[in-house]
């Protein structure tokens, strides 16, 4: 019933009061102004007075508030991130450190690296700690590639049109533009506070006319090529919101936003003919470096299948064939003789023509019920099948039998022809439906299994055809394999005119209109006299939104823009005739379909993107975002890109070469204890046996880990349920990054999110975990800067010395360089951090810190913790930012292991191991063995008969048997 969530996280093994390196010397005790101690956060504080810089604290604080403030200040003093981070953020902004060169400044002979985040929707809630996960990963990659000499394009913008801002405007009376700008400012401020190296000169928003002018331009190109058209289609209509909703905006029959009832109703809507690119969208997936799961999701969404389309003629009550034909599509034409009924979607256009008078009322009631369900609900496999008989029948062309025509909601008008031939013996849904309504079941594919006895359940596999012959129709496929039979049936259909071979797709054309105000206006007008649809000339773009005070739904289905009467009434620029503007707007998807192109050339007022710039920067090398966009956003963007490729705007067939889906950061783990109906505690591993039990929250301090489970400290026999939920305001488990930055610093937040686990995995937040990486940064700081003075201040420079590093120091350093480089390139950021932690542990044992080693480590650290790295680089004597310094390269000579573990045998029996140099001589190996306390006892008073030494492999010492002591082992 409940799934236990593994929450163990490999935190750095750093003591809470780590020793200082040997090259640090505290002053003698008599020279220290006050006694000192090392606080739990590794900062040195005054124990005679627990306040640090007490002047910063108000005397009006209560004792509890003072304790909290002191704790926070102590952590700040671990290293001065509160001073460092604003300093370097200001420096980067003033010097435009991360500005990507443009036009004549861009050296196109250098390699390029375009790394992109799926840009955010700027909500009023601001960021939570889940957002920076992907942003930090792309920032590490961007900083790393800059240091490798690449031209890096790393931009940020805002997907800012959409329903949430419009609903807020309706509720508060605030114009959505005002709300949107305020939200953008908050998001921008939060992102800047985290030190991301975005080129803010390229910032864009989908709501700016300079941007959506080109969104409208793309629409016109689609329209001119017949890829944008209007059609009467069933849509998800939400009366309360007054708009059409996409399938993904409907959950369990209600709107995702507000929980309002949603119905299905036919409306005339703008559609984009994405189906025209189905084959291209499918075939080109093979060449992309995307997660295989994402590619498979797109393949399934496109849903290419090969089969046949066939005709079933409706027959009248007298059994005579009429001219009304029902077309069905099937991937199993071999089962045509097993088709015992037809099923039409409730929206099927022919229903009114074939329903009997007696069934008309029942059908209308059923259609009304169906209109309240989403497509997902209707096609859910586990749901009970429902339907209504139309009162009419059709003739099966293969055997001439009359079969009933039913209506059922598990058939969708948007897929295939909106009608199926039902073969209950060989389809699970059809079998359930036929069993419920007592419709005949006729098996026609016999499994190649001697134990098979009946068609009590649907059999969908391969086999041999039976019950599949009719002299009148001339079709006989008995005895054939079902695959051979499918081919024969298709040939027969085409020969007799009853059908044809057909390739079909699950992919439907894209419903592109929304009855909203806050979206891109569609650049189309309708002439008053003829109703003709006329695209506006490109010179008229952008068509900007009119100012409205009332954004609420009209109630009639007309979009809110219809209220702007003076805006709606216009003239055809070409003919001068009176016309009406289109009042539906584009969906939020529109602006996000092509924004990656605009980042290449954001200020261009003459064209969507300059061809030379697009040729250089395309495609996006790495695109990082949530898995929730794995299908629709990526599919829509690929569709628009392919259209732009066909008309010569872009030079590559695909927009995103590599896609990475980062995992979700869940809320902190909750521990739940279970009680039986009598109130007794019970272990979570037995709750499945109970029909009734309750749960209660257990504080983390009362929990301990036992093996792979969590148990009560006071009663280890009680296993707890440990789980973490997605962060949401409703659960109250959202962590605000502003709070983390204030208490631990942005570098600590960045480092922790990368250290939690693999980038692509979901993992729970653990505030105690961030303390571990904060201690690591404090250790790195003290390694290079030195310890603070008794009043908590740090020196201006460093303790690094201009001395050549030893071979062992170089080995430790270059091992770290090699590992960090490899792990960044493989986006395994957590293990890269582990390598740096190992280096710091090793460096704390050194007697001296060579400057060259310190500088190399700072450069390794800089993509992860850029603020601290910049400050350390400056203190090491450099006047410029390290952003474009060459990333360290590992020297292979220092990666070779210089020592080996040598087994030592006494009289052929291994007694211990010693560490020796690879080139160690036999005599030196024996001396090391003699000095080893575990081995020397065997040599005491013994005569060595001989030694057998294989360098790097083994040392075997043969003792004189006469001299071996009794009992010596």
Per-residue pLDDT, averaged over 88-95, amounts to: 98
Flag whether pLDDT at 58 surpasses 50: no
What pLDDT is stored for residue 249 in this prediction?
A: 77
Per-residue pLDDT, averaged over 579-602, amounts to: 96
| pLDDT > 90: percent of the chain | 65
What pLDDT is stored for residue 20 in this prediction?
A: 58
Per-residue pLDDT, averaged over 451-467, amounts to: 92
Phi-psi region of 578 (alpha: psi -120 to 50; beta: other; left: phi over 0): beta
What pLDDT is stored for residue 56 in this prediction?
A: 25
What does the pLDDT look like over 922-959, one tens digit per residue?
998 898 888 888 888 888 878 888 899 998 889 999 98
| pLDDT > 70: percent of the chain | 90
Flag whether pLDDT at 579 surpasses 90: yes
Could you list the beta-strand ranges (E) of 60-188. 112-117, 151-153, 157-158
For the chain, the residue count is 969
What does the pLDDT look like over 793-805, one tens digit per residue?
888 899 999 999 9
Per-residue pLDDT, averaged over 441-462, amounts to: 91
Give CA–CA dist 311/613, Å, rounded: 53
Work out the number of other CB atoms within 10 angstroms of the CB of residue 357. 7
Give CA–CA dist 814/166, Å, rounded: 55
Flag whether pLDDT at 553 surpasses 70: yes
Give CA–CA dist 335/427, Å, rounded: 10
Between the alpha carbon of residue 334 and those of residues 305, 447, 493, 499, 928, the distances in Å are 15, 14, 11, 13, 81
How far from chain centre, in Å, is Cα 378?
Answer: 28
What pLDDT is stored for residue 159 in this prediction?
A: 96
- Who has greater pLDDT, 375 or 928? 928
What does the pLDDT look like over 759-791, one tens digit per residue?
999 888 888 889 999 999 999 999 999 988 888
Taking a C-beta distance cutoff of 8 angstroms, is the pair 7, 764 a contact? yes
Taking a C-beta distance cutoff of 8 angstroms, is the pair 196, 229 a contact? no
Q: How far apart are the first and last CA of the chain?
A: 57
What does the pLDDT look like over 868-927, one tens digit per residue?
999 999 999 999 999 999 999 999 988 887 778 899 999 989 999 988 887 788 998 898
What pLDDT is stored for residue 63 in this prediction?
A: 37
**If you write DSSP's letter for every residue of 857-877 in order, what string do you get?**
HHHHHTTTSHHHHHHHHHHTT
Of the listed ranges 39-48, 298-307, 337-346, 367-376, the least confidently predicted one is 39-48
Backbone angles phi, psi at 546, to 5 degrees: -75, 155
Give CA–CA dist 142/163, Å, rounded: 33
What does the pLDDT look like over 177-234, one tens digit per residue?
999 999 999 999 999 999 999 999 999 999 999 999 999 999 999 999 999 999 988 8
- Who has greater pLDDT, 353 or 167? 353
Could you list the beta-strand ranges (E) of 188-339. 204-205, 228-238, 243-245, 250-251, 254-255, 263-272, 305-315, 321-330
Flag whether pLDDT at 381 surpasses 50: yes
Flag whether pLDDT at 7 surpasses 50: no
What pLDDT is stored for residue 400 in this prediction?
A: 95
What does the pLDDT look like over 663-696, one tens digit per residue?
988 888 889 999 988 888 989 888 776 778 888 9
């Amino acid at each position: 019933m409940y799934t236990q969530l593994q929450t163990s996280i490999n935190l750095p093994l750093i003591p809470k009061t780590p020793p200082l390196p040997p090259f640090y010397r505290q002053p003698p005790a008599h020279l220290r102004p006050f006694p000192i101690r090392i606080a739990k956060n590794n900062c040195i504080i005054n124990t005679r007075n627990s306040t640090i810089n007490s002047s910063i604290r108000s005397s009006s604080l209560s004792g509890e508030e003072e304790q909290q403030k002191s704790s926070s200040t102590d952590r700040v003093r671990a290293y001065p991130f509160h001073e460092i981070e604003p300093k370097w953020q200001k420096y980067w902004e003033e010097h435009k450190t991360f500005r990507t060169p443009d036009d004549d400044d861009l050296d196109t002979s250098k390699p390029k690296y375009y790394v992109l985040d799926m840009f955010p929707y700027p909500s009023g809630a601001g960021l939570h700690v889940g957002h920076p996960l992907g942003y930090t990963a792309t920032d590490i990659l961007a900083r790393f590639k800059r240091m490798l000499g690449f031209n890096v394009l790393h931009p940020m913008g805002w997907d800012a049109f959409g329903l949430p801002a419009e609903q807020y405007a309706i509720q508060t009376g605030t114009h959505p533009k005002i709300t949107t700008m305020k939200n953008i400012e908050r998001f921008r401020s939060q992102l800047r506070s985290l030190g991301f190296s975005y080129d803010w000169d390229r910032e864009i928003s989908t709501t700016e006319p300079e941007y959506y002018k080109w969104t409208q331009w793309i629409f016109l190109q689609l329209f001119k090529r017949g890829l944008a058209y209007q059609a009467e289609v069933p849509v998800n209509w939400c009366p309360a919101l007054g708009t059409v909703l996409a399938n993904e905006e409907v959950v369990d029959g209600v709107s995702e936003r507000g929980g309002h009832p949603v119905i299905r109703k036919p409306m005339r809507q703008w559609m984009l003919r994405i189906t025209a690119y189905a084959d291209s969208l499918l075939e080109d997936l093979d060449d992309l470096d995307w997660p295989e799961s994402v590619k498979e999701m797109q393949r399934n969404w496109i849903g290419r299948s090969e089969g046949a389309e066939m005709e079933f003629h409706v027959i009248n009550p007298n059994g005579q064939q009429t001219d009304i034909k029902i077309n069905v599509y099937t991937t199993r034409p071999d089962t045509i003789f097993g088709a015992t009924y037809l099923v039409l979607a409730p929206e099927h256009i022919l229903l009114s023509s074939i329903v009997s008078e007696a069934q008309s009322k029942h059908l209308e009631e059923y259609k009304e019920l169906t209109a309240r369900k989403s497509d997902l609900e209707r096609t859910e496999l586990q749901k009970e099948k429902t339907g209504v008989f139309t009162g009419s029948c059709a003739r099966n062309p293969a055997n001439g039998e009359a079969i009933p025509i039913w209506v059922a909601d598990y058939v969708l008008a948007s897929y295939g022809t909106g009608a199926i031939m039902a073969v209950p013996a060989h389809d699970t849904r059809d079998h359930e439906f036929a069993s419920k309504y007592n419709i005949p079941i006729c098996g026609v594919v016999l499994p190649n299994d001697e134990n098979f006895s009946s068609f009590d359940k649907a059999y969908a596999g391969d086999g041999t055809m039976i019950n599949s012959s009719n002299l009148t129709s001339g079709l006989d496929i008995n005895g054939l394999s079902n695959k051979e039979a499918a081919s024969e049936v298709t040939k027969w259909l085409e020969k007799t005119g009853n059908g044809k071979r057909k390739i079909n797709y699950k992919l439907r054309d894209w419903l592109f209109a929304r009855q909203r105000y806050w979206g891109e206006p569609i650049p189309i007008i309708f002439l008053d006299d003829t109703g003709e649809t006329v695209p506006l000339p490109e010179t008229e773009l952008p068509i900007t939104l009119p100012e409205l005070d009332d954004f609420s739904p009209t109630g009639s289905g007309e979009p809110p823009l219809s209220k702007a009467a003076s805006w709606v009434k216009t003239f055809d620029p070409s003919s001068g005739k009176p016309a009406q503007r289109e009042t539906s707007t584009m969906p939020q998807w529109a602006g996000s379909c092509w924004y990656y192109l605009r980042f290449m050339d954001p200020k261009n007022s003459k064209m969507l993107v300059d061809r030379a710039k697009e040729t250089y920067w395309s495609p996006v090398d790495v695109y990082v975002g949530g898995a929730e966009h794995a299908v629709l956003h990526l599919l829509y963007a690929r569709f628009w890109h392919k259209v732009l490729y066909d008309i010569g705007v872009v030079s590559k067939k695909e927009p995103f070469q590599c896609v990475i889906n980062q995992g979700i950061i869940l809320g902190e783990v909750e521990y739940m204890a279970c009680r039986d109906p009598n109130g007794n505690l019970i272990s979570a591993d037995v709750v499945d046996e109970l029909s009734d039990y309750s749960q209660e929250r257990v504080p983390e301090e009362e929990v301990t880990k036992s093996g792979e489970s969590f148990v009560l400290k006071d009663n280890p026999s009680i296993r707890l349920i440990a789980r973490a939920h997605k962060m949401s305001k409703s659960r109250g488990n959202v962590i605000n990054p502003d709070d983390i930055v204030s208490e631990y610093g942005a570098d600590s937040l960045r480092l922790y999110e990368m250290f939690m686990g693999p980038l692509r995995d979901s993992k729970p937040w653990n505030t105690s975990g961030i303390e571990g990486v904060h201690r690591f940064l404090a250790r790195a700081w003290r390694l290079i800067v030195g310890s603070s003075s008794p009043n908590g201040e740090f020196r201006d420079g460093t303790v690094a010395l201009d001395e050549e590093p030893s071979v062992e120091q170089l080995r430790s350093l270059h091992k770290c360089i090699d590992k960090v480089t490899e792990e960044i390139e493989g986006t395994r950021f957590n293990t890269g951090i582990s390598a740096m932690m190992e280096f710091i542990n090793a460096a704390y044992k050194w007697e001296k810190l060579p400057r060259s080693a310190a500088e190399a480590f700072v450069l390794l650290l800089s993509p992860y913790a850029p603020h601290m790295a910049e400050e350390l680089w400056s203190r090491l004597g450099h006047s410029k930012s390290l952003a474009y310094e060459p990333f360290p390269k590992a020297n292979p000579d220092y990666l070779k292991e210089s020592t080996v573990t040598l087994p030592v045998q006494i009289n052929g029996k291994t007694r211990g191991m010693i560490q020796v140099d690879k080139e160690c001589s036999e005599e030196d190996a024996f001396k090391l063995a003699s000095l080893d306390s575990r081995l020397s006892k065997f040599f005491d008073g013994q005569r060595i008969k001989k030694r057998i030494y294989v360098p790097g492999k083994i040392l075997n010492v043969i003792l004189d048997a006469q001299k071996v002591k009794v009992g010596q082992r």
